[in-house]
């Protein structure tokens, strides 16, 4: 097949006619497929079905002898803090263990900053008119919604293959009302990019006008590799240490959870922070709650006692996910690559494939897919306020559907993307 | 024994000498006893050891077929909402299910009000200078700390046997900066009082200057009866309906949890609210979190499927708690009643016995107990800012210690209370 750019109007009209017959074939199938959200599949969830087995005879005690069934130990079980510290390459003292949702920890951290400020703030962030937040794009819609809800102006920053465009970031943070930044540094949502050591270093070192600038560092997928080969696995530095070494010790809050390891929304989440942030935050957290679910922490540490167990468990997830990603990418290679109207990254981990269709056609492509019974995340969702200036990015979530469903859905997607592109090209 | 009031100075000095010999006897015992916090005992916690048994073969599905292991159903499982609705006498639509800590739901509700206001607010509460909160006293220290941390001025209101002094409450709410009130309406913490239907009605009906006045109605102990005889069990009306009937439908947020039913801090908590409050709150809650722990909801509903199961389970708790309460009260009857220097309620449920020792001696009594190795909640803790104007109230928590420990601890307490009272009387 030819690139559409090289086709004459006549050839494009022929191609359009062909695609329209495909569309009618799809329509006749009465499809009902959902590629919208990054949900684990039932098979993946079943990997953790035995999470609570034997708990009744376990004694419900920490190694140090504390009764996990009762109040106390508000920062989390020592064993759980140790586990996450090893995961993130930091020390257990930096880990506060929450409940199942790391998004909740992020929201609460921002609420604290809005109402109380940070330990190094001049005043509560709620009192800063025109406060702004940097949003690498495309990015995670639920991140953006948190800062939008809390009254920040969202400033998009282009995300490149090695992380956010640091030249632009370093310029933007000269504004004292720019207070922080979202990031999913390993297998970014949705592109699957991994921040390079250089970008991490620049983020740690950069001079910000706001003394209390914060990076929200979401390790959502940092152990969610598709391939066993370590050279194909994203790696991150210990960002807490990097920031400390750069003289900005309080700059970063790290987050992680087991939502896509054990049970979605019912796992363990953590926030990692340096000593000053920890002291300041726990003064509020210890008023907010009597403590988080230690029984669940206890069950998790029995089920996944160390990083080796975690790695072995993640390999089982990868065995389900890898064929789904490869199928998605293979079909796009087959159906979409030659046309030259779309581009995408081939991620090595995470939960998404991010496709940039022909500019100005993402909304139309998603709408056409929907008409044919195939649901994708709404176009624009990966941008602040749901507005993609190029109307180009579409997030594909291949984790949940079955292989046959993915095959059909991505075929439909490819045909729709090509058809809307042709319409656009012919219009011009 | 005589009442101290009727004793001559000579007799009091004799009594003091006797008590001092008792003190030395206690000191020689090198006691180490803790009566500080309302924690369930290990025996009580063991009642729920089987909470997760069989989960691995359960299918992890709701009755309607939803997979509880995955994302979704952010307001909570329908079965869980139904369970709590029956408990509180309301409808499932009014129930939002949180994680383990109802205090967390209270804190978050107040944070929402501070940052966003309520649906019927003129502005966010954070923008109201001198905002105030009513605190029935004695009350729960962790309630008070929440409103203190969020910048409310705490206004104490005397708690009577039938609830807060409503003549005073009705006066105070004429101030538009009085925005709400704490309450533990069934088995108040620490007195164990139950609000009467009349008080509940007046709370629902009273005219408040603030249009967005809120009552935080904490059902912490509303199924935590000590006696099986229903005439000895506290009962509450459906406060949501009562407020609606009085034309104040959004006035009340109700809270409940299974912290003292299954596992402390690792159970299920809920907030119950009317439609307008629910709509307003969930707009924020659905940004705050991806959802709460549905696996735990699912485990709980299998373990306690209905109110009959709940009642049967609570009877088992009562079997452990009743002897501890009766022993505490018996020893005080024996050691303290005749002296006439202290008074206390005999609670029919809850987790505490609240003692009013001779005015001006509570701090000294707790300090003397501590010196003898017996820890009580710090005097004053049951009042806003930790300041009991009469220095009289002491909270005794008999749930956790063993019967022999309680016996010794309450003997020590009684002797210390009498000794400090005598010193005070002789000083005068």
Q: Is the pLDDT of residue B401 over 80?
A: yes
Residue A54 belongs to a domain? no
CA distance A354 to A189: 8
Contact state of B295 with A126 under an 8 Å Cβ cutoff:
no
Judge if the upstream peptide bond of residue A190 is cis by omega within 30 degrees of 0. Answer: yes
Are A113 and A38 part of one and the same domain? no
Residue B104 belongs to a domain? yes
Are B279 and B182 part of one and the same domain? yes
Residue A56 belongs to a domain? no
Contact state of B149 with A40 under an 8 Å Cβ cutoff:
no
Give the percent of chain B with pLDDT over 90: 99
pLDDT given at position B142: 97
Are A190 and A225 part of one and the same domain? yes
Contact state of B45 with A289 under an 8 Å Cβ cutoff:
no
Are A281 and A146 part of one and the same domain? yes
- Nearest chain A residue to B103, by CA: A289
At A216 the three-state DSSP class reads: strand
CA of A308 vs chain B CAs: smallest distance (Å): 23
Please state whether the predicted TM-score (pTM) of the whole model is above 0.80.
Answer: yes
- B362: Cβ contacts below 8 Å, ≥ 6 apart: B379, B380, B388, B390, B391, B392, B393, B394
Contact state of B71 with A39 under an 8 Å Cβ cutoff:
yes
Contact state of B292 with A99 under an 8 Å Cβ cutoff:
yes
Residue B55 belongs to a domain? no
Q: What is the pLDDT of residues B184-203, one digit of tens each?
A: 999 999 999 999 999 999 99
Which of A115, A145, A289 lies closest to B287 in CB terms?
A145
- Nearest chain A residue to B112, by CA: A111
CA distance A98 to A82: 14
Report residue B214's pLDDT band, with 50, 70 and 90 as the boundaries.
very high
Give mean pLDDT, residues B210-230.
97
Residue B51 belongs to a domain? no
pLDDT given at position B94: 98
CA of B295 vs chain A CAs: smallest distance (Å): 6
Contact state of B100 with A292 under an 8 Å Cβ cutoff:
yes
Of A32, A406, A374, A98, the C-alpha closest to A259 is A98
CA distance B216 to B255: 8
Are A337 and A238 part of one and the same domain? no
Are B215 and B331 part of one and the same domain? no
At A425 the three-state DSSP class reads: helix
Are B219 and B322 part of one and the same domain? no
Single out the residue in A305, A324, A345 at which a domain terminates: A305
Which of B40, B68, B115 lies closest to A126 in CB terms?
B115
Residue A55 belongs to a domain? no
The 10 Å Cβ neighbour count of residue A295 is 25
CA distance A144 to A183: 11
Are B290 and B336 part of one and the same domain? no
Single out the residue in A242, A270, A305 at which a domain terminates: A305
- B132-137 vs A269-272, strand pairing mode: unpaired
* The pair of three-digit structure tokens given for residue A205, joined into one six-digit string: 């070192």
Report residue B330's pLDDT band, with 50, 70 and 90 as the boundaries.
very high
pLDDT given at position B305: 98
Are B320 and B254 part of one and the same domain? no
What is the tally of structural domains in chain B? Answer: 2
Contact residues, chain B, for A60 at CB < 8 Å: 45, 49
pLDDT given at position B37: 84
Are B319 and B187 part of one and the same domain? no
Contact state of A70 with B264 under an 8 Å Cβ cutoff:
yes
pLDDT given at position A2: 83
* The pair of three-digit structure tokens given for residue B221, joined into one six-digit string: 């102990």
CA of A87 vs chain B CAs: smallest distance (Å): 23
pLDDT digit string (tens) for chain A, length 428 residues: 689 999 999 999 999 999 999 999 999 999 999 998 889 999 999 999 999 999 999 999 999 999 999 999 999 999 999 999 999 999 999 999 999 999 999 999 999 999 999 999 999 999 999 999 999 999 999 999 999 999 999 999 999 999 999 999 999 999 999 999 999 999 999 999 999 999 999 999 999 999 999 999 999 999 999 999 999 999 999 999 999 999 999 999 999 999 999 999 999 999 999 999 999 999 999 999 999 999 999 999 999 999 999 999 999 999 999 999 999 999 999 999 999 999 999 999 999 999 999 999 999 999 999 999 999 999 999 999 999 999 999 999 999 999 999 999 999 999 999 999 999 999 98
Which of B40, B67, B146 lies closest to A45 in CB terms?
B67
Contact state of B107 with A60 under an 8 Å Cβ cutoff:
no
Contact state of A296 with B293 under an 8 Å Cβ cutoff:
yes
Are B208 and B333 part of one and the same domain? no
CA of A408 vs chain B CAs: smallest distance (Å): 24
- What CATH number is attached to the domain comprising B99? 3.40.640.10
- What CATH number is attached to the domain comprising A344? 3.90.1150.10
Are A290 and A369 part of one and the same domain? no
Q: Which one of B45, B54, B100 would you mutate to disrupt binding with A, by most A Cβ within 10 Å of its Cβ? A: B100
CA of B417: how far to CAs of A144, A416, B111, in Å? 58, 82, 40
Q: Which one of A37, A71, A385 would you mutate to disrupt binding with B, by most B Cβ within 10 Å of its Cβ? A: A71
Contact state of B265 with A292 under an 8 Å Cβ cutoff:
yes
Q: Which domain holds residue B124?
A: 61-305
Single out the residue in B305, B331, B365 at which a domain terminates: B305
Contact residues, chain A, for B149 at CB < 8 Å: 284, 287
- A133: Cβ contacts below 8 Å, ≥ 6 apart: A147, A152, A153, A154, A155, A178, A179, A180, A181, A182
Contact residues, chain A, for B100 at CB < 8 Å: 99, 290-293
Contact residues, chain B, for A53 at CB < 8 Å: 55-56
Residue B53 belongs to a domain? no
Residue B344 belongs to a domain? yes
Contact state of A107 with B287 under an 8 Å Cβ cutoff:
yes
CA of B140 vs chain A CAs: smallest distance (Å): 13
pLDDT given at position A428: 85
Write a three-state SS string for chain B: CCCHHHCCHHHHHHHHHHHHHHHHHHHHCCCCEEECCCCCCHHHHHCCCCCCCCHHHCCCECCCCCECCCCCCCCCCHHHHHHHHHHHCCCHHHEEECCCCHHHHHHHHHHHHHHHCCCCCCCCHHHCCCCEEEEEECCCHHHHHHHHHCCCEEEEEEEECCEECHHHHHHHCCCCCEEEEEECCECCCCCCCECCHHHHHHHHHCCCCCCCCEEEEECCCCCCECCCCHHHCCCCCCHHHHHHHCCCCCCEEEEEECCCCCCCCCCCEEEECCHHHHHHHHHHHHHHCCCCCHHHHHHHHHHCCCHHHHHHHHHHHHHHHHHHHHHHHHHHHHHHHCCCCCEECCCCECCCEEEECCCCCHHHHHHHHHHCCEEECCCCCCCHHHCCCCCCEEEECCCCCCHHHHHHHHHHHHHHHHHHHHHHHHHC
CA distance B51 to B53: 6
CA of A293 vs chain B CAs: smallest distance (Å): 4
Give mean pLDDT, residues B370-377.
96
At A179 the three-state DSSP class reads: strand
List, in sequence order, every residue forming a beta bridge with A270; answer none if it has no partner: A97, A256
């Amino acid at each position: 097949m030819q690139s559409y750019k090289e086709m004459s109007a006549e050839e494009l009209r022929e191609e359009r006619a062909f695609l329209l017959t495909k569309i009618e074939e799809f329509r006749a199938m009465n499809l009902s497929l959902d590629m919208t959200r990054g949900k684990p599949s039932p098979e993946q969830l079943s990997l953790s079905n035995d999470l609570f087995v034997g708990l009744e005879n376990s004694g419900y005690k920490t190694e140090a002898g504390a009764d996990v069934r009762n109040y106390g130990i508000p920062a989390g079980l020592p064993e759980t803090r140790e586990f996450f510290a090893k995961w993130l390459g930091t020390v257990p003292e930096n880990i506060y263990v929450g409940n199942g949702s790391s998004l909740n920890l992020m929201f609460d951290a921002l609420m604290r900053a809005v109402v109380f400020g940070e330990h190094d703030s001049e005043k509560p962030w709620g009192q800063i008119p025109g406060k702004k937040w940097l949003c690498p794009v495309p990015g995670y819609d639920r991140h953006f919604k948190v800062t939008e809800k809390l009254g920040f102006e969202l400033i998009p920053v282009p995300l490149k293959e090695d992380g956010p465009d640091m030249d632009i970031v370093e310029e933007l943070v000269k504004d004292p009302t720019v207070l922080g930044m979202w990031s999913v540094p390993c297998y970014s949502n949705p592109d699957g990019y991994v921040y390079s050591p250089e970008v991490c270093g620049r983020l740690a070192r950069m001079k910000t006008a706001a003394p209390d600038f914060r990076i929200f560092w979401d390790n959502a997928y940092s152990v969610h590799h598709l391939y066993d080969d370590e050279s194909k696995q994203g790696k991150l530095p210990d960002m807490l240490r990097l920031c400390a070494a750069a003289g900005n010790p309080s700059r970063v809050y790290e987050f992680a959870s087991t939502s896509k390891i054990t049970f979605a929304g019912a796992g363990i989440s953590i926030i990692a922070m340096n000593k000053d942030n920890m002291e300041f935050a726990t003064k509020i957290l210890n008023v907010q709650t009597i403590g988080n679910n230690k029984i669940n922490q206890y069950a998790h540490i029995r089920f996944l006692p160390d990083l080796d167990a975690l790695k072995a468990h993640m390999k089982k997830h990868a065995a389900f996910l890898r064929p789904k990603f490869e199928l998605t990418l293979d079909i796009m290679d087959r159906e979409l690559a030659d046309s030259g109207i779309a581009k995408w990254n081939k991620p090595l981990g995470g939960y998404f494939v991010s496709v940039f269709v022909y500019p100005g056609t993402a909304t139309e492509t998603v709408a056409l897919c929907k008409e044919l019974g195939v649901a994708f995340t709404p176009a624009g969702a990966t941008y602040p306020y749901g507005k993609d200036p190029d109307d180009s990015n579409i997030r594909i979530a291949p984790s949940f559907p079955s292989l046959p469903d993915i095959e059909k859905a991505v075929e439909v997607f490819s045909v729709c993307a090509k058809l809307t592109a042709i319409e656009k090209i012919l219009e011009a």
